[in-house]
Amino acid sequence: MTSLDISEFKSNGYVVFPPNERMESWLESAHIEAGRLMPSQPPVSCWLSCHCFGTALPINPRLQDLLSELLHKPSAMLEKNQLSVLYPGYHHERQNRHVDGAQHGIFWHALLVGVLLDELPSDRIDRGNPLVWPGSHLTTQAELSQLGPNPTREKIREIIDGISRKTVGDGVPISGAPGTMFLLDHALVHGMADQAIQGFERRVAYYRIGNRTEEPSEIVDRRHFFK
């Protein structure tokens, strides 16, 4: 990552990278695996979403190399992965804004990596675009830093849930061609736009970079508040 990227990441809590040719073979295998993982019928729920955690989405060496190059950290290992699918009709009144880990009161990762598997044009946000609230990670960090060295998980969860509820305004949509990659600070409030396009299933592959590292980099080592 360039100094400009790092500055953007620190202030906004996220950064987006356009696709390049190194992602092409990974995209081919990811599409095949996503087709295998997706249910044959959309889920029967008011949200019409599907989140397949711990899946067998491919961790292509090219994707691993690209992350290591971006982070200037050779051992930036990708951990648990997730296929996120939104079906036509998906809607959540608060755009499902949240901070990962709120339900458990602990952060399991330092960095969230997303890769678009489908085209999400920048001129419309009715295709289930990932949403981010720039700078919200700074609020999360500031409030959690006041808790002291050994807060309970219940207190952490209360703080994080409160931040998500208090975050106002429309999120900034992430858009781009298949292979567009985005990095999110683990403390950033994020969510999903409505998916209103018939015959279209929005798919995003997510990976996590671990919370513990023997070789902290300027991006990965975010001083995770809790030892």
**212-149-190 Cα angle (round to 5):** 60
pLDDT at 180: 94
Give Cα 185 to chain centroid, integer Å: 8
pLDDT at 24: 83
- How confident is the model over 127-153, as a mean pLDDT? 85
> What digits encode the pLDDT tens for the residues 174-227?
999 999 999 998 889 999 888 888 888 889 998 887 654 444 444 444 444 333
> What digits encode the pLDDT tens for the residues 32-44?
888 887 766 665 5
Instruction: Report the chain's mean pLDDT, rounded to a whole number.
Output: 77
Extract the tokens encoding 63.
């994707």
Task: Give the separation between CA 226 and CA 145, rounded to whole angstroms.
Answer: 9
pLDDT at 201: 84
- Greater confidence (94 vs 209) lies with 209
Range name among 5-9, 15-19, 138-142, 144-148 with the lowest pLDDT average: 144-148
Looking at domain 3-210, its CATH architecture is Sandwich (2.60)
> What digits encode the pLDDT tens for the residues 156-165?
888 888 888 8
